[in-house]
Amino acid sequence: MKKITLLSLVTFMFLLTANAYAAWQEIGQNEQSTVSVDRATLKTQGNTAQILSMLDFKQPGQDPQTKETIKSIIGLNEYDCNSGQYRPIEFKLFTGNRGKGKVIQDQKSPDSPYESIPNGSWAAGVFNVACRNK
C-alpha cells in the first residue's frame, strides 16, 4: 500500500472545496475559451509548480462518453519549470460555466507523464503564471 503524504492529503482536501472558494483570475482568452487561475493554490517545490486552472468555454463542447454538454473544466496541473512541460494531476468536467452545474467527469491521474506545452495554448499561459518566479 502506498503511503499517503501530507501534501497529497492536503491537495485532495483542497480540491474538494476549491471550486466553492476559488478566487479565479482571468489570464487570457480567445474565440473558444477564457483561461483563469487561482493564484492562491500555487505550490512550488524545487523546479516544479502546481496550480488550479479553469477553462471556461464560450461554445460548449461534448463529453465523448456521456454525450453531455461541457461548459468548463477545472484542473490541477503540475509544471516542470526547467523543461517547459506539464502533466495533469486531476481535472473535472462541468455542465455549467465557471465550474458550476453537474460534474460529468472527475479524473485523477497523479502519475501521468509530462507533455510538451504548445505555444499559445492555455497551458502556456498557466505555465507563465506558475513558473514566473522560478
In this structure, is residue 118 part of a structural domain? yes
42 lies in which domain range?
6-131
Residue whose cell numbers read 497529497? 8
For the chain, the domain total comes to 1
Higher-scoring residue by pLDDT: 20, 68: 68
In this structure, is residue 78 part of a structural domain? yes
CA distance 64 to 70: 10
Q: H helices then E strands: how many in the chain? A: 2, 7
Instruction: Write phi, then psi, for 68 (nearest 5 degrees).
Output: -80, 155
pLDDT tens string 58-109: 999 998 888 999 999 999 999 999 999 999 999 999 999 999 999 999 999 9
CATH assignment of the domain containing 47: 2.40.128.710
Looking at residues 42-55, what average pLDDT do you find? Answer: 96
In this structure, is residue 38 part of a structural domain? yes
In this structure, is residue 29 part of a structural domain? yes
In this structure, is residue 1 part of a structural domain? no
Q: What is the CA radius of gyration of the chain?
A: 15
In this structure, is residue 112 part of a structural domain? yes
pTM: 0.80
pLDDT over 90 at 9, yes or no = no
